[in-house]
Amino acid sequence: MKLLHSYKRIILLAIYFFSCFYILKAGYQTMSISTSGNFDNSLAAELQQTLDDQRVQQEIMGLSAAVLLPNEDIWLGTSGISNPSNGDSISTDMLFWMASISKTFASMVVLQLAEEGVLALDDPLHQWLPSFPNIDSTITIRQLLNHTSGVWDWEHDWSMVYSEIFSNPDKYWTQEEIILTFTDEPYFAPGEGYHYSNTGYLLLSMIIEEATKLDFPIAMEKRFIPLNQLTHTYFAWSDTISDDFAHPWEDDVDLFHQYKTAISTFCYGAGSVISTPKDLVWFVKSLFEGELLTPESMKQMLTFVNNNQYGLGVARSTMYGRELYWHNGALPGFRSIVFYSSQDSTSIAVAINDDDANSIDIALALFEVVLAAYHPRLSIDGSILDLGTINSKFDTTFFVYNTGGKADSVLASIRYSGVADSNAFSIFPPSFILAPGDSQALAFFINPELLAPKKYAIRLHIDSKFSPLTPSRIKPIKFKVTSLSIVNTDKDVPAHFSLNQNYPNPFNPTTSISFSIPKREFVTVEVFNMLGQVVMTLESDYLAEGTYTYNWDAGEFPSGVYLYRLTTTHFVQNRKMLLMR
């Protein structure tokens, strides 16, 4: 069996690479872009580039995405392949299984039924359903919605579930059969904890059926048909659906023919929604802008548990100073996410036909592009700056850039600790306005004469007033002060290498160490304890010929005998000194 599986993988990979070659050779387009309204062309191009980059970085087969802006301008983009065997690329109206995003749909319908007085969120389970082994009949509808019921999650036994679903894809599973077959003992008593449970949403689908007297898919469709924008959304698989389905890929295996009745009926309520990113962004916009539920119902939906992370069928996170309402989904060969930012009235959805993909990273990358188009985005040149040894006044210039779409008010400052004299550093200008596409030069100055001899790590802070993406940018700066002074000038070049005895000796806590070099050399001056460990490097750099004096402050070191060593390419000398407190 293993050998056959290996041959199968080889054949599939060969088909894939041959198809890719055919697509490239024939000029077949593996991406598509669609916009409506007055969507900015440059923003659309950057979104598409981001989508393509993410597909390449994550090595994804194919993906589709949608961005809906507050003015209802919409961008749709795709990248990659659905079926490599025939060169079928992803299209914007291609259907994906959205998996657990279904929970937001089911939650909305339950809340609508509560508004109509058909049920109440605090109704116990026994009021609607018969008793089942391992399921507490006092669990409330609310606890099923926010995963505080303690009900065992059938995904806990995923290997068994996977085998059952895909070994017989045409099987029709009843909810009762699933619960009786795949429900173990509860994780905790109702309301005593949090544990994500697909089984809980299966129970909710049964309650929806009981409350509406309709099969779950029909009950859901009746609620969503009036939404004109949801033209490609289905709540169960059917061979009568005429839209194209994306082929799902798991470990290079096409699972297209496994996605039929079995997985659809198994996932009722928990993961059976089939849709497009375009439909998803319109759904969450309508939902979170109050078009589908009353203010009281929205308050219930957005009451969060589990450290304020999960409400009724919706998760919450904070990114870039924005509160995002979201849900993601995962089934074999599919990954998806949709989220809505209330501060920006913007919704984003991503659907992927590849098991090995991170939909969250892709959605956030698209969100960054949108935020940058309508807000400032700051950057500063370079990374960590290591200035080495500084013993005389030093200045340099940094540049700050605004690559966003709006102007920003910027503050520049130097932050440090353990420095007595604030005049040792300066940055100019300390504040400025930076227009989009512009840069600002910052003059940075260090006066080492005001600093104690030691190593320093300071930070240049660039603080934005208006950017959610880059509220602060930090540039670390490292350098060392050794209190070096040149005793002899170039006119009095030493005749030979020498390391002088420190003075004073004994000392407490500072002493001077002098040495001479007759020509330019790479010089290292180190201090060792009696265990032979280096406790301070006073110099490690090229020096011109001359006589040098270093002042060593041993205030942080214990009393005792220390060695100091001068090392050059042609000379090594050691001496002893005594620190007495």
Place of tokens 């809906």: 68
Q: Please report, for residues 64, 282, 325, 421, 422, the alpha-carbon distance to residue 345 in angstroms, rounded to integers and kept in the order given.
A: 21, 11, 11, 48, 45
Q: Within a 13 Å sphere around the CA of 163, how many CA atoms are in the beta-carbon half?
A: 4
Threshold 0.85, pTM exceeds: no
Q: Within a 13 Å sphere around the CA of 398, how many CA atoms are in the beta-carbon half?
A: 29
Higher pLDDT, 383 or 12: 383
Q: At what angle do helices 359-374 and 41-58 cross, to 10 degrees?
A: 150
Query: Which residue intervals of 323-454 are DSSP H helices?
Result: 359-374
Per residue in 517-558, pLDDT (tens digit) is 999 899 999 999 999 999 888 888 888 888 888 888 888 889
Nearest CA to 509 among 527, 497, 485, 494? 527
* Domain 97-357: homologous superfamily in CATH: DD-peptidase/beta-lactamase superfamily (3.40.710.10)
State the distance between the two ends of the chain, measured CA to CA, in whole angstroms: 78
For the chain, the residue count is 581
pLDDT band at 420 (very low <50, low <70, confident <90, very high): low
How far is Cα 50 from Cα 348, in angstroms, rounded to an integer? 14
Which secondary-structure segment (H or E) carries 209? helix 198-212
Report the greatest alpha carbon distance in the chain. Answer: 105
378-481 and 485-579 agree in CATH topology:
yes
pLDDT band at 16 (very low <50, low <70, confident <90, very high): very low
Res. 452: pLDDT tops 90: no
Instruction: Provide the β-strand partners of residue 428.
Output: 443
pLDDT value, residue 530? 93
Tokens of 149: 């019921």
Mapped onto helix, strand or coil, the DSSP state of residue 406 is: coil
Name the percent of the chain lying above pLDDT 90: 70
Write out the E strands in 204-285.
249-250, 253-254, 273-275
Instruction: Provide the β-strand partners of residue 526.
Output: 537, 565
Res. 110: pLDDT tops 50: yes
Say if CB 565 and CB 535 are below 8 A apart: no
The letter for the amino acid at 566 is: L
pLDDT value, residue 351? 98
Per residue in 358-401, pLDDT (tens digit) is 999 999 999 999 999 999 989 998 777 888 878 778 888 999 99
Say if CB 338 and CB 280 are below 8 A apart: yes
Mapped onto helix, strand or coil, the DSSP state of residue 170 is: coil
Per residue in 480-494, pLDDT (tens digit) is 887 655 555 445 788
Q: What is the mean pLDDT of residues 17-26?
A: 36
Residue 135 per-residue DSSP state? B
Pairing of strands 96-99, 273-275: antiparallel
Helices (H) and strands (E) in the chain, counts: 12, 29
How far is Cα 44 from Cα 41, in angstroms, rounded to an integer? 5
Find the Cα–Cα–Cα–Cα dihedral 423, 427, 429, 430, rounded to 10°: -80
Tokens of 238: 């059917």
Res. 475: pLDDT tops 70: yes
Res. 171: pLDDT tops 50: yes
Write out the E strands in 302-359.
315-319, 322-331, 334-341, 346-352
Nearest CA to 221 among 109, 302, 380, 358? 109
How far is Cα 272 from Cα 114, in angstroms, rounded to an integer? 22
Domain regions of the chain by residue span: 97-357, 378-481, 485-579
Q: Range with the lowest mean pLDDT among 8-22, 126-140, 237-251, 291-305?
A: 8-22
CATH topology (fold) of 378-481:
Immunoglobulin-like (2.60.40)
Nearest CA to 145 among 331, 303, 289? 303
Nearest CA to 356 among 464, 251, 200, 286? 251
Tokens of 451: 């600093």
Place of tokens 């993909």: 357
Q: Please state the three-class secondary structure of 382-399 as a single string.
A: CCCEEEEECCCCEEEEEE
Tokens of 373: 């188009």
Residue 248 per-residue DSSP state? P
Per residue in 179-224, pLDDT (tens digit) is 999 999 999 999 999 999 999 999 999 999 999 999 999 999 998 8
What is the CA 13 to chain-centroid distance, rounded? 31
Q: What is the mean pLDDT of residues 341-362?
A: 95
Res. 15: pLDDT tops 70: no
CATH number assigned to the domain with residue range 485-579, chosen from the 4 options 1.10.1030.10, 2.50.20.10, 2.60.40.1930, 3.40.30.10: 2.60.40.1930
How far is Cα 87 from Cα 16, in angstroms, rounded to an integer? 9
What is the CA 261 to chain-centroid distance, rounded? 35
